[in-house]
Structure 1
Amino acid sequence: MPVRVVDSSAPSQVSGANPSHTSPPACTLLSVGQAFSGTQNVSSLQKDEAWRVNVRIQGCDLDHGYLCGTMEALNVPMADTPVVTFWEGEIVDMKNYTFFTGKWEATSEVDTRHWTKFPSFSPLLVSYVTWAQSQVEVDGGRSLDLSNYPYIFMRWKEQYFVNVGTDCGLTIAGFYYVCFSCSDGSINGFYYDPNSSPFQKLELKITNEGRSGFSFSSYELQ
């Protein structure tokens, strides 16, 4: 059965981050109101299947490593209408959030398997392994500095369905590992849910739709 998760607060921070690090590079393509469009591959052993997906950023607070938005799946077989969900995101900046998820049934091994699927993560791999090992010694001041890296890594967690009930045929029990390109605004992601098909790939491109949204220091949805 689909799982409905409701949480109006920003996600809790993952321990082990280095407070001396700065925020990710300012990127005009990762901003309030920006829209993206693409697909999510949900193929299984039984059949090949992909959903068309639209995403819009509704809030972004880089200082606190937080953003949120909506995701619309357009051709879900069991749903009569497009399914819209609200998600909240954690930006991996080594200040507020690290590469270790520490929740949502994701172990450090699961994290490593997913992050290393992004080609843009490869240049960080040696440093990541060193950093991960040094976490045993409370990091030793050797955390990765991602402030000038041309990619932004994130986690997106869908919190609840916006326009349908939990009987729509979808689950939001899992979350997305996400990589955002600062150069062209493209987004690649992998959905993780131990009870769903592994490595469902999300591929989005930036659109030229008009922007709308808000900036904030805190966010609450009734």
Structure 2
Amino acid sequence: MPVRVVEGSAPSQRSGQDASNGRVLPPYSLLSVGRAFAGTQNVSSLQKDEAWRVNVRIQGCDLDNGYLCGTMEALNVPLADTPVVTFWEGELIDAKNYTFYTGKWEATPDDDIRHWSKFPSFGPLLSQVEADGGKSLDLSNYPFVFMRWKEQYFVNVGIDCGLTIAGFYYVCFSCSDGSINGFYYDPNSSPFQKLELKSANEGLSGFTFSSYQLQ
């Protein structure tokens, strides 16, 4: 949910580990409903350095159809009196429902490759993705889960809040430590705004959302 600023080795085949108790879990199980993440989004521009604190919670997940959804809360947005919450829907890159090529939201195949290549874990997959978008890849046991997140609407503020949700996020989830990295894409916003999140479910000190009703 950035401010609109216009400016010119072989993969390991292992499942994720739940950091709270050391149990080895299937990769997608770490993206279950209720999972929470906290971190920052860097929205720096040529004019200034800026980062927002961000909370994300998964609200729905349908692995068979490569779908998940959730809420994103930005806490220290300039000119906003309250945290700004958006609802997003996600596409799991599973080579069945969705490939690495977006095919919408103004993203070209070159844009896709450029953004996915920002993730070191994408390197071993690059040649196959360039060949067919990754349709022939088996990602079921890959230790990273790739996704796209598209914010659909503002939950608690109006569209005149000074932010844009016209773009979407390229996202990489690490099954080994539960961390999330992402890059925001919108041709009319500052490029490669980085999202960095860590799991907030472990221990007794997490964060909580205010109550919002999703329409």
The TM-score with structure 1 as length reference comes to: 0.78
1:175 lines up with 2:168 in the alignment = yes
Question: Relative to structure 1, is the Cα distance of residues 210 and 62 closer, same or farther in structure 2, using a 3 angstrom cutoff?
Answer: farther
Task: Give the counterpart letter for 1:109 in structure 2.
Answer: D
What is the total number of aligned residue pairs between the two structures? Answer: 184
1:33 lines up with 2:26 in the alignment = no
* Structure 2: distance between partners of 1:60 and 1:151: 17
Alignment partner, residue 187 of structure 1: 180
Q: Which runs of 5+ in 2 are unaligned?
A: 3-25
Q: Is the 8 A contact 2:52 2:75 kept in 1?
A: yes
Question: Relative to structure 1, is the Cα distance of residues 211 and 28 closer, same or farther in structure 2, using a 3 angstrom cutoff?
Answer: farther
Q: Is the 8 A contact 1:34 1:211 kept in 2?
A: no
Task: Give the counterpart letter for 1:205 in structure 2.
Answer: K
* Structure 1: distance between partners of 2:49 and 2:106: 26
* Structure 1: distance between partners of 2:84 and 2:208: 21
Alignment partner, residue 102 of structure 2: 101
* Structure 1: distance between partners of 2:128 and 2:139: 11
Alignment partner, residue 73 of structure 1: 74
| Bigger relative contact order, structure 1 or 2 (CA pairs below 8 A, ≥6 apart) | 1
How far has the Cα of 1:78 moved from its partner?
1.7
Task: Give the counterpart letter for 1:165 in structure 2.
Answer: G
* Structure 1: distance between partners of 2:208 and 2:164: 29
Alignment partner, residue 50 of structure 2: 49
For residue 203 of structure 1, the aligned residue among 190, 196, 199 is: 196
How far has the Cα of 1:211 moved from its partner?
9.9
How far has the Cα of 1:28 moved from its partner?
3.0
* Structure 1: distance between partners of 2:27 and 2:138: 15
User: How much identity, in percent, do the aligned residues show?
Assistant: 81
Alignment partner, residue 118 of structure 2: 117
Alignment partner, residue 153 of structure 2: 160
* Structure 2: distance between partners of 1:173 and 1:192: 9
Alignment partner, residue 130 of structure 1: 131
Task: Give the counterpart letter for 2:141 in structure 1.
Answer: N
Any idea what SS the aligned residue of 2:79 has?
A: coil
Alignment partner, residue 20 of structure 2: none
* Structure 2: distance between partners of 1:189 and 1:26: 18
Any idea what SS the aligned residue of 2:112 has?
A: helix
Any idea what SS the aligned residue of 1:27 has?
A: helix
Q: Which runs of 5+ in 1 are unaligned?
A: 3-24, 133-138, 213-220
CA deviation digits over 1:81-124, x for unaligned, max 9? Answer: 10000000000001001101010000111001000110110111
The TM-score with structure 2 as length reference comes to: 0.80
1:90 lines up with 2:91 in the alignment = yes
Alignment partner, residue 7 of structure 2: none
* Structure 2: distance between partners of 1:211 and 1:98: 33
